[in-house]
């Protein structure tokens, strides 16, 4: 009977329940519990197994650059990073309400780590995240134009609950690429959140985008409902410090 039950549980892909059932079979004291108590334990294990698998799938799809958690962040005063701000963002409410986040600061100050940590938390909270290093995003868009896969790529980006664009403004873009980015933001406006990191302060972004009309449209969709983190201090890489 045990073998048949295990086989059926595995066939139904109730792996968490199967693992718990097998453990119960090795525990002599488990029979002291009522049927309802034992059944609740099996269901709870299946729930946890399913949730952990879903989180692992979301993290794999997000393709985050770094394995980062908000619990590992460094809040020393010289960085300008406030624990209260991170605690608020970690709740995920800003994603629920389709708000944005902008992280700026000098190179090596930990922008990418913070962005990946927030995206990791979003995945744990049930949101789908998608990470792009900005130059690679625009190369992917250029290739998608050439091979006809642009609609599929834009749909993938549009349906992510959180889009992370790392190192925005690092490379010079042409007018067409800026318009592609505007289309991405327009598709996501009111339906998704965008997190940008940049070495340039927001006040300098108009200089990065040559067309003032496109610049106004991009900034309008990004900054008015954005949480801002402005990091300070020197490079953590040079000091070998934790992000």
What pLDDT is stored for residue 133 in this prediction? 97
Per-residue pLDDT of the chain (243 residues; tens, 9 = 90+): 578 888 888 888 888 888 888 888 788 778 788 888 888 989 998 888 889 899 999 999 999 999 999 999 999 888 889 999 999 999 999 999 999 999 999 998 999 999 999 999 999 999 999 999 999 999 999 999 999 999 999 999 999 999 999 999 988 888 899 999 999 999 999 999 999 999 999 999 988 888 999 999 999 999 989 999 999 876 665 555 656
Using CB atoms within 10 A of its CB, is residue 229 exposed (0-12), middle (13-18) or buried (19+)?
A: buried
Residues belonging to the chain: 243
Closest CA to 178 of 223, 144, 151, 217: 217
What pLDDT is stored for residue 2 in this prediction? 78
Q: Which residues contact 113 (CB under 8 A, 6 or more apart)?
A: 66, 68, 73, 243
Residue 176 Cα distances to 21, 38, 181, 182, 223, angstroms: 58, 61, 9, 10, 22
Strand stretches in the chain, DSSP E: 100-104, 129-133, 162-166, 193-198, 226-230
Strand partners, 193: 162
In the chain, what are the domain boundaries? Answer: 2-61, 63-239
The correct answer on CATH 2.60.40.180 for the domain covering 63-239 is: no
The span from the CA of 232 to the CA of 81, in Å, is: 8
């Amino acid at each position: 009977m045990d073998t048949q039950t295990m086989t059926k549980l595995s066939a139904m892909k109730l792996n968490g329940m199967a693992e718990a059932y097998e453990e119960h079979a090795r525990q002599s004291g488990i029979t002291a519990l009522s049927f309802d108590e034992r059944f609740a334990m099996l269901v709870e294990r299946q729930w946890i197994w399913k949730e952990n698998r879903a989180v692992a799938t979301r993290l794999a799809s997000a393709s985050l650059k770094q394995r980062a958690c908000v619990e590992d962040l460094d809040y020393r005063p010289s960085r300008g990073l406030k624990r209260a701000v991170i605690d608020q963002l970690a709740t995920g409410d800003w994603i629920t309400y389709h708000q944005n986040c902008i992280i700026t600061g000098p190179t090596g100050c930990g922008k990418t780590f913070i962005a990946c940590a927030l995206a990791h938390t979003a995945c744990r909270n049930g949101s789908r995240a998608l990470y792009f290093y900005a130059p690679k995003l625009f190369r992917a868009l250029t290739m998608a134009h050439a091979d006809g896969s642009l609609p599929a790529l834009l749909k993938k980006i549009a349906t992510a609950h959180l889009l992370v664009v790392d190192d925005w403004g690092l490379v010079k873009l042409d007018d067409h690429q800026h318009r592609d980015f505007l289309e991405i933001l327009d598709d996501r406006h009111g339906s998704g959140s965008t997190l940008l990191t940049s070495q340039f302060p927001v006040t300098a972004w108009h200089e990065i985008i040559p067309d003032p009309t496109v610049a106004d449209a991009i900034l309008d969709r990004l900054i008015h409902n954005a949480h801002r983190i402005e990091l300070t201090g020197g490079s953590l890489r040079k000091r070998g410090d934790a992000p």
